[in-house]
Amino acid sequence: MQNIDSYVEKNKDRFINELIELLKIPSVSADSAYKKDVLKTADIIKKSLEKAGCDHVEICETDGYPIVYGEKIIDKNLPTVLVYGHYDVQPADPIGLWTSPPFEPVIKKTELHPEGAIYARGACDDKGQMYMHVKAMEFMTETNQLPCNVKFMIEGEEEVGSVNLSKFVKNNQEKLKNDVILISDTGMISKDTPSITTGLRGLSYVEVEVTGPNRDLHSGLYGGAVANPINVLTKMIASLHDENNHITIPGFYDKVENLSDEERAQMAKAPFSLDNYKKAIDIDDVYGEKGYTTNERNSIRPTLDVNGIWGGYTGEGAKTVIASKAYAKISMRLVPHQDWEDITKLFKNHFESIAPKGVKVLVKPHHGGQGYVTPIDSIGYQAASKAYEDTFGKTPIPQRSGGSIPIVALFEQELKSKTILMGFGLDSDAIHSPNEHFGVWNYLKGISTIPLFYKYFTELSK
Ligand code: BES
Ligand code: MN
Ligand code: MN
């Protein structure tokens, strides 16, 4: 493609400033206090798609936050790329741990990012990565190099489970018809080792509640004689893993696909330094399921983690009390073929069955989603691979990720098309954490790589 590098070079300050403006709006979907801001963000995305050359852009209302849809159809006989992204962001807390306010973006230079990184909630997940596609579209239309049809579908509820997008996809099959889906909402190995995400984990998220006595009790008068819900809950949770860190829920592993030794050997070739991994998060050793490497544990193996646990007295000083109730939020990351609804049922049955007498246990399922894998011999993967070869000078490594984007499996089920995950983030970008950031280099590299995907995908489709 002509002039992509010079176009990016010439416009990079504007690209960065536009993203900074977008990041200033706190589009937190989980917290209704930000409703106006989430809606305002949808409007800004709409305008940006119009400016980038879409012929038709609309705000599609849902029972929740709207979906921004845009398209440019140049020729019905050419392939169609559907771009998906999300404009909502995670809550910013714990706010005190940010070194600069989460919705006042600033560029800071770091050792890893000598060109600077933009610090703000959503910088990488997913406003920055989504906006790369808007700017890539701008480049292709401005320079008359758009080689195929494009559809954009940018939602505002990814961080809360994409419930309304699921309905939208089921009800709009014709409108969303495409030949490939393109998403930047994942990461890559490092700045000099490009990779393409070939798998995502599924998710089952539940909340549990253990109730003991009908009121909080004096821990001296009653202690030792009644079940303490917090003691019981922690014991039940501890029993969910055995001494090898296998999950003990009966049937949990039944559908888990065992990779061949060859596939595992292939995976092990990806560059990875255990020392750096430990250093980056300040731990003296890794921990996990026996018989698997760190990279396997966080991609091809399912997990069970407590995400939050509470109950009893947590205020200042001491209060001698046996709480009436204890709670926990638990997530299970699943691998392809494990059905999230089946796993949720297995969890519920098992957790209820291990409750001792003297307490009542309630399991409340939240949201979930299926995992995803994509082969590397598809036209879409090959087009992405060639695009990275051009801009990084290296063939990207296929790699499964531990994260989840549940809607991707639904796309495959409903729209019958495969998704290509071209992520430009890094593990160190601190998504969902305080001080989330996105490297300026990564942002601009994404903008210059994406148009090449369109070019190669169109050529390979002929
Ligand atoms: N973009 C992330 C998922 C992700 C990040 C996948 C990095 C691979 C690499 C997405 O916004 C996200 O946070 N997903 C949630 C699940 C969702 C149902 C809330 C997750 O993975 O926890
Ligand atoms: Mn995301
Ligand atoms: Mn996220």
For residue 1, name the pLDDT band (cuts at 50, 70, 90): confident
Q: What's the angle, vertex CA 444, arms to CA 443 and CA 447, rounded to 5?
A: 95
Average pLDDT of the chain, as a whole number: 97
In a domain, 431, yes or no: yes
Statement to judge: residues 196 and 334 lie in one domain:
no
Claim to verify: residue 181 and residue 324 sit in the same structural domain: no
Distance CA 441, CA 252 (A): 42
pLDDT at 330: 98
247 pLDDT above the threshold of 90: yes
> What residues are paired with 330 via a beta bridge?
206, 306
CA distance 273 to 293: 12
Task: Specify the pairing of strand 180-183 against strand 80-86.
Answer: parallel
What's the 183 CA to ligand 2 centre distance in angstroms? 10
In a domain? residue 292: no
**Structure-token match 């000099």, residue found:** 192
Report if residue 66 sits inside a domain.
yes
For residue 431, the CA-to-ligand 2 centroid distance in Å is 9
The residue behind tokens 């596609």 is 133
Ligand 1 pocket: which of 87, 166, 185, 372 to mutate (most atoms within 8 A of CB): 185
What backbone phi and psi angles, to 5 degrees, belong to 106? Answer: -135, 155
Ligand 1 atom 15 nearest Cα:
404
Q: What is this structure's pTM?
A: 0.95
d(CA 335, CA 286): 21
Tell me 80's DSSP state. Answer: E
Residue 295: CB partners within 8 Å, gap ≥ 6? 267, 268, 270, 272
**Structure token digits, residue 103:** 């919705």
pLDDT single digits (tens) 424-446:
999 999 999 999 999 999 999 99
In short, whether 405's Cβ falls inside 6 Å of ligand 1 is: yes
Percent residues over pLDDT 70 in the chain: 100
pLDDT band at 236 (very low <50, low <70, confident <90, very high): very high
Tokens of 222: 């009653």
- Whether residue 459 contacts residue 12, with contact meaning beta carbons closer than 8 Å, is answered with no
In a domain, residue 262? The reply is no
Query: Do 329 and 247 fall into the same domain?
Result: yes
Number of domains in the chain: 2
Q: Does residue 271 form part of some domain?
A: no
CATH of the domain at 212: 3.30.70.360
**Domain range enclosing 335:** 202-256+302-368
Whether 384 and 394 share a structural domain: yes
Model confidence pLDDT, tens digit, residues 358-381: 999 999 999 899 999 999 999 999
Q: Is residue 342 part of a domain?
A: yes
Write out pLDDT tens, residues 293-329.
Answer: 999 999 999 999 999 999 999 999 999 999 999 999 9
Q: Tell me, yes or no, whether 269 lies in a domain.
A: no
pLDDT tens digit string along 142-180? 999 999 999 999 999 999 999 999 999 999 999 999 999
Q: Cα(425)–Cα(420) distance, rounded to whole angstroms? A: 15
Ligand 1 atom closest to the CA of 86, numbered from 1? 11
Q: What pLDDT is attached to residue 83?
A: 99
pLDDT at 218 over 90: yes
Query: Is there a single domain that holds both residue 25 and residue 148?
Result: yes
Among the bound ligands, name the one nearest to the CA of residue 121: 3
Q: Do 228 and 311 fall within a single domain?
A: yes
| Beta-sheet strands, E only, within 49-155 | 56-60, 67-72, 80-86, 106-108, 117-119, 149-155
Q: Spell out the residues 6+ positions from residue 219 whose beta carbon is closer than 8 angstroms to its own.
A: 320, 321, 322
Annotated active-site positions, please?
A: 88, 158
Q: Within its chain, how far is the Cα of 199 from the centroid?
A: 12
User: Both 100 and 187 in a single domain?
Assistant: yes
**pLDDT given for residue 460 in this prediction:** 98
Q: Cα(344) to centroid of ligand 1, in Å?
A: 19
168 shares its domain with 23 = yes
Q: Report if residue 141 sits inside a domain.
A: yes
Contact 340, 351 (CB under 8 A): no
pLDDT band (50, 70, 90) for residue 384: very high
Judge contact between 164 and 95, C-beta under 8 A.
no
Residues 55 and 196 grouped into a single domain: yes
Atom of ligand 1 nearest to the CA of 160: 19
pLDDT value for 2: 81
- Are 176 and 226 part of one and the same domain? no
Task: Kindly list the protein residues that place their beta carbon closer than 5 angstroms to ligand 2, a single-atom ion.
Answer: 125-126, 185
CB atoms within 10 A of CB 319: 12
Domain final residue pick, 368, 395, 419: 368
For range 337-358, the mean pLDDT: 98
Compute the distance between CA of residue 16 and CA of residue 18 in angstroms, rounded to an integer.
Answer: 6
The DSSP line for 401-426 is -SS--THHHHHHHHH---EEE---B-
Give the domain-ending residue among 341, 368, 395. Answer: 368
Quick one: which ligand is closest to 159's CA? 1
Q: Is 422 in the pocket of ligand 1 (CB under 6 A)?
A: no
Question: How far is residue 240 from each of residues 30, 243, 245, 338, 394, measured CA to CA in Å?
Answer: 29, 10, 9, 18, 43
Same domain flag for 141 and 11: yes
- Tell me what the mean pLDDT of segment 235-262 comes to: 97
Q: How far is the CA of 404 from the centre of ligand 1 (A)?
A: 5
CATH number of the domain at 85, please.
Answer: 3.40.630.10
Q: Is the pLDDT of residue 397 over 90?
A: yes
Pocket lining: 85 vs ligand 1, CB cutoff 6 Å = no
Q: How many CB atoms lie within 10 A of CB 298?
A: 18
Continuous segment of H or E residues that includes residue 83 = strand 80-86
> What confidence tens digit (pLDDT) does each residue in 42-55 have?
999 999 999 999 99
Q: Are residues 150 and 50 in the same domain?
A: yes
Peptide bond into 216 cis (omega under 30): no
User: What is the full DSSP assignment across 105-127?
Assistant: -EEE--SS-TT-EEESTTTTTTH
Domain end among 330, 351, 368: 368
